[in-house]
Structures are given as structure tokens and as C-alpha cells.
Amino acid sequence: AVVSTQSTGYRDHFWLMLAKGTGKMISLSVVLLFLTMSRYLLTKLRATPLSKFLALDQSIEFHKAIGVLCMVLSAIHTFAHLAHLAYHHEARGEVYLKKLFWIHKETQNFGWFGTAYPTGVLLILIAIVIAYCSHPYVRRKGYFQVFYFSHMLYIPYA
């Protein structure tokens, strides 16, 4: 439903529809990442009748699963944007690598480069750092601080 409502205006652009839809799913998943680890919310939910239906004790496993989902969706989102950029600019006879690496007149509206691609690259890098530092061998080998501070990158990511 998220993909179909987001992409109705782009029927002729499959890759853009896919990128927009996965972008909206990433936004929802990032909110769920935060909510699954909110101690205050989990404590309040345990005091409600909903606690009988929700698996609140498995919130860490759910958080990990949503994290993996976010990484997969981010990969699809990135690939879809690259494919759309390649297809769109190939059809117009332009070299899409110039736009991708911000050396193009259309992307120089905000100084040396535009804002969409640099922020996307930064968010992908932050997500990779968080994902890498989340592995058990980082947390359990005495590097919990690395795990903790990498997760503080969630603030600029969200």
C-alpha cells in the first residue's frame, strides 16, 4: 500500500516508483527501530491489555530484524535511484555519472553540489557503520562502547 500510494504519479518511471516506495518503507522502519528499543514505551505497554497480544519480551530480536530490513530496503532504494538515473539520462543522451558525482549544472544549485545524492550517500555510510558495529563480535569482545556510540549515529540518521 505504501508503494502504490507513493508512486501513483510516476507510472512511466518504474525505477522511480520503486525508489519512492522503498523510501517511504524505510521511513516507517526507522520509526519502528526507535520504538522497539524505547524502554519507556515498552514499560507502559506492559501495563496495558495489549501486552497479552504483543511479544514485548522479543523486542530486541524484532529490532534486529527491522535493522536488517532497513539495510535491504536501503540497498533496493539506492539501486532503484541509480537505475532511474541511468535510464533517465541515457534516454536524454546525457552522462549520468556526472550527475551522480555532483559535477553537473543541475546539481550545482546549492553551491558545489546538490543535496539529494550527498545526503543519501551519508545516510548509507551511517547505516553501514551502525550495521557493522552491531555484530556480536563487536559487542561481546569488549567493544560495547563502539556499539553504543555507533548507535548514537541514529540521531543524524533519523
Which of 157, 152, 84 lies closest to 119, judged by CA? 157
DSSP code per residue over the chain: -HHHHHSGGGTT-HHHHHHHHHHHHHHHHHHHHHHHT-HHHHHHHHTSGGGGTS-GGGHHHHHHHHHHHHHHHHHHHHHHHHHHHHHHHHHTT--HHHHHTT-SGGG-TTTTS-SHHHHHHHHHHHHHHHHHTTSHHHHTTT-HHHHHHHHTTHHHH-
Cell of 81: 535511484
Gap between the Cα atoms of 15 and 89, Å rounded: 13
Q: pTM of the entire structure?
A: 0.76
Tens-digit pLDDT profile for the chain (158 aa)? 555 555 556 666 788 889 889 999 999 999 999 888 888 988 888 889 988 888 888 888 999 999 999 999 999 998 998 888 777 766 554 555 555 555 555 555 544 445 566 778 888 899 899 889 888 888 787 788 888 888 888 887 76
Gap between the Cα atoms of 65 and 101, Å rounded: 32
Cell of 24: 517511504
CB of 67 within 8 A of CB of 131? yes
Gap between the Cα atoms of 107 and 85, Å rounded: 13
